[in-house]
Structure 1
Amino acid sequence: MSQQPAIKPLDWAFLILLSLLWGGSFFLSKLALAELPPLTVVLVRVTLAALVLFAWLRASGREIPRSWSVWRAFFGMGLINNVIPFSLLFWGQTQIASGLASILNATTPVFAILVTKALAPETEVTANRLLGILFGIAGVAVLVGLDALSDKGFPVLPMFACLGAALSYGFAGFFGQRFRQMGIAPATGAFGQLTASAAMMIPLAAVIDQPWTLAAPGPITVAALIGLALFSTALGYAIYFRCLSTIGQLNTSLVTLMIPASAILLGSLVLGERLSPNHYAGLVLIGLGLLAIDGRAWRLLRGEGRGRRA
């Protein structure tokens, strides 16, 4: 039975960094969506990020893939990892609070397991992983608090849009693992995916949003778009593909449990926001969930980490 790779300390460090980069994306996207429609925000985000990664690849002397089979994979990955989930999440955030969107986005590991078991039934999903994911989702709900649910009631369609994004991420993680088998480096995979996404978003945004008819965005919106493109997208997806290649889809999907915690901690450290009791309780639950998934603490408690007697 196929097992997921163990998460080493360096892998946890990359997951934490990725959660910080993506945790800030909910705040930045909310700023951008105040002046621009969702598809335009997606288009600008992926296009700027693709240009940044192109410049970096050229500066570092790396070749841009030209094989159609590789670009076909880029377009498929761009569709299910950017175009569909970004559009659904951004539209959902225009209807519901970002906190509720982050809770729904935290279901990604559940969808990752369902997709993996459907497409690769031999993959082992341990009880401690399932328990850890449940702890993590509960922690996200407690961390964000009831205020996230009381913003605009329970609009069903936007909530299903966010869940649809989480399902799309589940498929993306599964298929994104093949990039390593194809010999595609993480930064190259991120560039190809984002370039393909930009190509698909241009006609969509042109037909639906007609961005040339919109008023010029203000400096806050421009700064939010740049932050989304450079950090949450260009750097974020380079790290994402690195994690997929080293620890697999199910482990990488755990970052969605960590994103709300990172967003709350960023608000506390950078903006001076005070942490309330539900924040501490949520962080503890998320931490317990990640410890259960990691498994090492549980093995130590059971005595499996001790050396055997001769």
Structure 2
Amino acid sequence: MQEIAMTQQKSLSALAWFELILLGLIWGASFLAIRVALDTIPVMTAVFHRVFWAALALWAVVLLRRETIPRDPRIWGAFLVMGLLNNVLPFSLMAWGQLYVDTGLTSILNAATAIFGVLVAAAFFSDERLTKRRAVGVALGFGGVSIAIGLHNFLGFSLQSAAQLAILAGTVSYALAAVWARLRLSGLAPQVAAAGMLSGSTMVMLPVMLVVDGAPSFDLPMTTWIAVAYYALVATAGAYLLYYRVLAAAGSGNLLLVTLIIPPVAILLGAYVRHETLAPNAFIGFAILALGLLILSRARGRD
């Protein structure tokens, strides 16, 4: 999941509801696809596949739509930073975290993106101040995340604890990406911004992959290629296009609701395909987090 941009709250049409739910289903299934790929390919290679193939797909869309491609080096520099904040860091941190954390719990922790997004936006923008309503939503969100992680994990430190912290660090990076996009990439066509960002991500991930994992192997099981195709082409390239449609139609407050759809999808798929089971505290934490997100989604329209 990527950053939630800031736009005016709007009422949801039937089509907007359908697209919002579809986006949640797509992103929810991406956690399973990434975990399946990680069974046979290393983390950095998995991330490289994600940004490389998604970038190619989006540039094809840009060319078909005959969008204007920016030539200003400063914009391409902004793409590079955006790719680092919105793809390289969160994709890598969360993929590594998924090696030690169930897909369902990963998706729950990923929902903290909206919580950190509110805090970071309040720190940078005067029109995104932390009102009382938003403060309540943030407090509930952090409480839910803490319970989902398990309070006992705060008393000691293990590889699983490190993985959970890595996933949360990825959500902070998403929140910073939203600020960077508003400061440096506003005014660009969404397809161009997404394609440029993923190109910057690919430029970073190629040398990182070669140094950490070595040259990628293309002799992979069909299940791995299906998983890669899904999370790169459907859950990244396709989801970016759908994301901006929903954002334009529903507004950022309603778009926060997608974070409530993702975890149940990921939990069900993880249980059915990989026989994962989550502790009761994960469900309790998600319920509290969901309440906080609902408050935040309404706050965007009322503050």
**SS of the residue aligned with 1:5?**
coil
In the TM superposition, what is the alpha-carbon distance from 1:229 to its structure 2 partner? 1.2
2:154 is matched with which residue?
none
In the TM superposition, what is the alpha-carbon distance from 1:119 to its structure 2 partner? 1.6
In the TM superposition, what is the alpha-carbon distance from 1:168 to its structure 2 partner? 0.1
Aligned positions, number: 290
Unaligned runs of 5+ in 2: 1-5, 152-156
**Larger RCO of the pair (alpha carbons < 8 Å, separation 6+):** 2
2:3 is matched with which residue?
none
Residue identity matched to 2:235: S
Match of 1:171 among 172, 176, 179: 176
Counterpart CA distance in 1 for 2:173 and 2:33 is 22
- Does the CA-based 8 Å contact 1:108-1:253 persist in structure 2? no
2:38 is matched with which residue?
33
Match of 2:219 among 202, 216, 220: 216
1:9 is matched with which residue?
12
1:54 equivalent to 2:59? Answer: yes
1:192 is matched with which residue?
196
In the TM superposition, what is the alpha-carbon distance from 1:287 to its structure 2 partner? 6.3
In the TM superposition, what is the alpha-carbon distance from 1:53 to its structure 2 partner? 1.2
| TM-score, with length taken from structure 1 | 0.75
- Does the CA-based 8 Å contact 1:173-1:249 persist in structure 2? no
Counterpart CA distance in 1 for 2:272 and 2:213 is 37
With 129-138 and 49-58 compared, the bigger mean Cα shift is at 129-138
Matches within 5 A, 1:285-304: 288-289=291-292, 291-295=294-298
In the TM superposition, what is the alpha-carbon distance from 1:99 to its structure 2 partner? 2.4
Counterpart CA distance in 1 for 2:150 and 2:267 is 11
Instruction: Work out which of the two has the higher radius of gyration on C-alpha atoms and give 1 or 2.
Output: 1
Matches within 5 A, 1:230-249: 230-241=233-244
- Does the CA-based 8 Å contact 2:9-2:252 persist in structure 1? no
Give CA deviations for 1:71-96 in whole Å, capped at 9, x if unaligned: 12211110100001101101111122
1:258 is matched with which residue?
261
Match of 1:23 among 22, 28, 37: 28
Counterpart CA distance in 1 for 2:171 and 2:88 is 13
Counterpart CA distance in 2 for 1:269 and 1:44 is 26
Counterpart CA distance in 2 for 1:168 and 1:253 is 17
Counterpart CA distance in 2 for 1:280 and 1:129 is 23
Matches within 5 A, 1:85-164: 85-132=90-137, 155-164=160-169
Residue identity matched to 1:192: G
Residue identity matched to 2:96: W
2:210 is matched with which residue?
206
Change (3 A) 1:17 1:46: same
Change (3 A) 1:180 1:240: farther
With 81-90 and 108-117 compared, the bigger mean Cα shift is at 108-117
Change (3 A) 1:18 1:141: farther
Residue identity matched to 1:9: L
In the TM superposition, what is the alpha-carbon distance from 1:23 to its structure 2 partner? 0.9
- Does the CA-based 8 Å contact 1:106-1:137 persist in structure 2? no
